[in-house]
Homo-oligomer: A and B are copies of this chain.
Amino acid sequence: MNTELLKKLSAADKRSVARAITIVENGYTNSTELLKLIHKQTGNAFRIGITGPPGAGKSTITNHLTKLYRKQNKKIGIIAVDPTSPFTGGALLGDRVRMNEIGNDEGVFIRSMATRGSLGGLSKKAIDAADVLDAAGFDIVILETVGVGQSELDIAQAADTTMVVLVPESGDSVQAMKAGLMEIADFFVLNKSDRPGAEHAIASLQTILMMKEHDENSWMPKIIKTIASENKGINEINDEILRHNDFMKNNDLFLAKREKQIINRIKNIVEEKIRSELWNESGKNSLNLSLEKVVLGDLSPYHIAEEIIEKFIRQMK
């Protein structure tokens, strides 16, 4: 491991941060070593998750929040994850605007991550990147993700406070993703709230929220109205983040949440490591060799699965 990289990293040197994130993003062999080494320096950054459907205005909100925190002289790291981009090619459209607005500020670091090939691993890498920013001394890390599936839930669950950004037209997505959204949202942001249907959207969201089990001591997600393009409602978002943070700390929930996140993270690391060992070249080959036996009906997929596990254990000894 390059000790100079580590030294510069602790000094929040942007080029070293970029290099370190490239190491974890590409899963280079020294990635695990780097993440082990920086662990002692992590745990200080406050992590904000921002998720929601494409076009809801997540990057506009991120930009304005960043400007607000810069006025408080805080250093901001932003990881923008778009798992839908491999197909559309030109995703992360918000990035160019963003780079112009806040990208040249020395106290702001921005990194976009898109899926290359498979969905798996993207959330793990984003969380690893958040660790790098944390260790480099950024005060706030914003994890911005397109909310479409499990991988974004993983990322949002790695944040201290998560907001789900919707627009009046998101009704359909809310229906579709309701279980997951309810689970992760510490509060909702209804952006573009001057558009027709805003009140209706709020009413439906409130109906769904009321279905959630709760009592007077539990946190109830609020709905914050914004028009992010006009910088309206950003202070209210910040107030709600602080209110949530206070609630978590006053009710001894903050540490519990972080512990749950660590458990999830360890599980993900273990499972991904095992998956990569299982399905390496040799694993893939033996799977392909067994295929015909299943097609012919000689052996069931369950037989082959047992053989593969036995072989894996023998090899790992």
Interface string of A159-192 (1 = CB under 8 A from B): 0000000000111110111111010000000000
Q: So how many copies of this chain end up in the complex?
A: 2
Interchain nearest-CB distance for A104 vs B (Å): 31
Q: A262-B291, A266-B287, A270-B278 are in contact. Are A86 and B313 (CB under 8 A)?
A: no
Pick from A1-9, A70-78, A299-307 the stretch touching chain B: A299-307
A55 nearest in chain B by CB position: B175
Question: How many A residues are at the interface, by size bracket?
Answer: 35 or more
Question: A279 vs B270: C-alpha distance in the bound complex, in angstroms?
Answer: 11
Q: Which residues of B contact A242 (CB under 8 A)?
A: none
| A14 on the B face (CB < 8 A) | no
| Contact yes or no, B279 A175, CB < 8 A | no
| Contact yes or no, A300 B35, CB < 8 A | yes
Q: Which residues of B contact A273 (CB under 8 A)?
A: 305, 309
Q: Which residues of B contact A278 (CB under 8 A)?
A: 267, 270-271, 274
Interface string of A274-289 (1 = CB under 8 A from B): 1100110000000110
| Contact yes or no, A287 B300, CB < 8 A | no
Interchain nearest-CB distance for A295 vs B (Å): 7
| Contact yes or no, B147 A150, CB < 8 A | no
| A43 on the B face (CB < 8 A) | yes
Q: Which residues of B contact A275 (CB under 8 A)?
A: 271
| Contact yes or no, B302 A313, CB < 8 A | no
| Contact yes or no, B176 A147, CB < 8 A | yes
| A40 on the B face (CB < 8 A) | yes
| A11 on the B face (CB < 8 A) | no
Q: A287-B266, A309-B274 are in contact. Are A88 and B148 (CB under 8 A)?
A: no
| A316 on the B face (CB < 8 A) | yes
| A39 on the B face (CB < 8 A) | yes
| Contact yes or no, A53 B175, CB < 8 A | yes
Q: Which residues of B contact A182 (CB under 8 A)?
A: 87
Q: Which residues of B contact A149 (CB under 8 A)?
A: 148-150, 180
Question: A298 vs B317: C-alpha distance in the bound complex, in angstroms?
Answer: 27
| A308 on the B face (CB < 8 A) | yes
Q: List 12 A-B contacts (CB under 8 A).
A: A35-B300, A36-B300, A39-B303, A84-B178, A88-B211, A148-B176, A172-B172, A263-B287, A263-B288, A267-B278, A274-B309, A313-B313
Beyond A146-B176, A148-B179, A149-B149, 5 additional contacts (C-beta under 8 Å) are: A39-B300, A39-B303, A43-B295, A43-B297, A266-B301
A-B complex: 3 closest residue pairs judged by Cβ atoms:
A39-B300, A87-B179, A269-B305
